[in-house]
């Protein structure tokens, strides 16, 4: 099974993904590591990525997901996956890929980004993330409210997926 944890920057994808992976003893991967140096530099300068910028990143992620599925691995992937077309490209309709959508209000997420240091994604790009976001249909994803504490979020995901 692949659990794709999606949401805007600062929603907690990495923190939640790592905690869930540790609880299940599954592999964890952060989609940020798949970005090119040029894309990271662009975001560090406060410039949002275009679909053209994202294409090589999405292709790398699609290849990784296909390999994990072929190897029958259990993997948690933290990935923004902001657009429906990105999610379709990455996952297709494979029932082994489960989508978790982290939701929260702008102010909470903005504060988290401002408190975060050493990351290429700047708080001033948050609005562009919300502008790009195409929330999945509730029948396509499990919606998780990020205002809860970490252990409650991890337990909620585990309960919803029976893992």
Enter the DSSP assignment of 8.
Answer: S
**Three-state SS at 29:** strand
Q: How far apart are CA 74 and CA 115, in angstroms?
A: 31
pLDDT tens digits for range 101-159: 999 999 999 888 877 665 555 556 788 889 999 999 999 999 999 999 999 999 999 99
- What does the pLDDT read at residue 36? 87
Range of the domain at 121: 2-161
Q: Which residues of 2-24 are buried (b: 16+ CB within 10 A; e: fewer)?
A: bbbbbbbbbbbbbbbbbbbbeeb
- When pLDDT is cut at 50, 70 and 90, the band that residue 42 belongs to is confident
Mean pLDDT (the chain, rounded): 91
Residue 96 predicted with pLDDT over 80: yes
DSSP label at 83? S
CATH of residue 112? 3.40.50.300
Nearest CA to 61 out of 101, 97, 25 is that of: 97
Q: Whose structure tokens read 């679909």?
A: 51
**pLDDT tens-digit map of 60-76:** 999 999 999 999 999 99
CA distance 129 to 49: 10
Number of domains in the chain: 1
Of 118, 89, 123, the C-alpha closest to 106 is 123
Contact 142, 157 (CB under 8 A): yes
Q: Which percentage of the chain shows pLDDT scores above 90?
A: 71
Hey, what long-range contacts does 125-132 have (CB within 8 A, 24 or more apart)? 125/9, 125/43, 125/46, 125/48, 126/8, 126/9, 126/10, 128/48, 129/8, 129/9, 129/48, 129/80, 129/82, 130/8, 130/106, 132/48, 132/82, 132/83
Q: Give the whole-angstrom CA distance, residue 163 versus residue 128.
A: 34
């Amino acid at each position: 099974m692949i659990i794709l944890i999606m949401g805007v920057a600062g929603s907690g994808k990495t923190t939640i993904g790592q905690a869930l992976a540790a609880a299940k003893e599954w592999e964890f991967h952060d989609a940020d590591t798949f970005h090119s140096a040029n894309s990271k530099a662009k975001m560090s300068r406060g410039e949002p990525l275009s679909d053209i910028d994202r294409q090589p990143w999405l292709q790398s992620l699609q290849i990784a997901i296909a390999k994990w599925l072929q190897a029958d691995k259990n993997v948690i992937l933290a990935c923004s996956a902001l657009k429906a077309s990105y999610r379709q490209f990455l996952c297709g309709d494979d029932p082994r890929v489960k989508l978790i959508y982290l939701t929260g209000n702008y102010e909470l997420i903005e504060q988290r980004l401002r408190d975060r240091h050493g990351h290429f994604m700047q708080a001033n790009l948050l609005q562009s993330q919300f502008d790009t976001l195409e929330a999945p249909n509730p029948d396509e994803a499990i919606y998780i409210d990020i205002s809860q504490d970490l252990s409650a979020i991890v337990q909620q995901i585990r309960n919803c997926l029976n893992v």
